[in-house]
Each structure stands twice: as structure tokens, then as C-alpha cells.
């Protein structure tokens, strides 16, 4: 795992991130997620992953508070700061 992650709208060192044991999503798995490939520093097929997450959020009646462009840009920034040209990314909303 890389030493920097994107959490609560910012890139932070992994060791600074803490989850509350009472978080609904942590307790029940409530939310949407995807795992995608980072290929040449770019999230591969992100459009399809985003469309599926948006569709799943709608089906589960979960508000999707993020915009496609912002999440894509955050993935690009995170791959760059971690110098990750190849790898995997997990997006959980």
C-alpha cells in the first residue's frame, strides 16, 4: 500500500487516517466502491467504473456527494504523488 492516500477530500499520510468504530459504513458496509487499474499513471476505464458506482448508489438510495471530474482528478493526483504509474486503486464512497 502506498504511504499517501486520498481521504476526506485531501491527500494525507496513511498513518494519519483514523476511522471511528461507530461509522455506519464501517459497521454495515454501506456505500459503493470499485477497484480499478492504474495504467501509465491513469485510472483505466474510470468512466465505466464511475457509471457503475453511480448506478449502484442510486439503487441503494445513497447520495453520491462527489463529481466524476473531482474523483478522477484526485485519482490522477494521488497516482502522481505516490509515483504510481502502474498499480491498483480502491475507490470507496
Domains of the chain in sequence order: 4-14+32-92 (3.30.470.10)
Place of cell 504510481: 84
What does the pLDDT read at residue 65?
A: 87
What lies within 8 Å, CB to CB, of 93 at 6+ separation is 31, 32, 33, 53, 57, 64, 65, 66, 71
Ramachandran category for residue 10: left, alpha or beta (phi over 0 → left; psi -120 to 50 → alpha): beta
What does the pLDDT read at residue 56?
A: 94
Q: Is the pLDDT of residue 2 over 80?
A: yes
Cα 9–chain centre separation: 10
For 21-30, 33-42, 55-64, 79-88, which range has the lowest pLDDT when averaged over its residues? 21-30
Q: pLDDT band for position 25 (50/70/90)?
A: low
Amino acid at each position: 500500500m502506498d504511504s499517501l492516500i486520498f481521504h476526506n477530500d485531501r491527500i494525507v499520510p496513511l498513518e494519519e487516517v483514523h476511522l471511528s468504530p461507530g461509522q455506519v459504513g464501517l459497521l454495515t458496509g454501506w456505500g459503493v466502491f470499485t477497484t480499478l487499474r492504474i495504467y501509465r499513471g491513469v485510472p483505466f476505464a474510470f468512466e465505466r467504473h464511475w457509471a457503475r458506482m453511480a448506478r449502484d448508489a442510486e439503487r441503494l438510495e445513497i447520495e453520491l456527494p462527489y463529481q466524476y471530474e473531482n474523483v478522477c482528478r484526485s485519482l490522477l493526483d494521488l497516482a502522481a504523488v505516490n509515483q504510481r504509474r502502474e498499480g491498483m486503486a480502491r475507490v470507496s464512497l
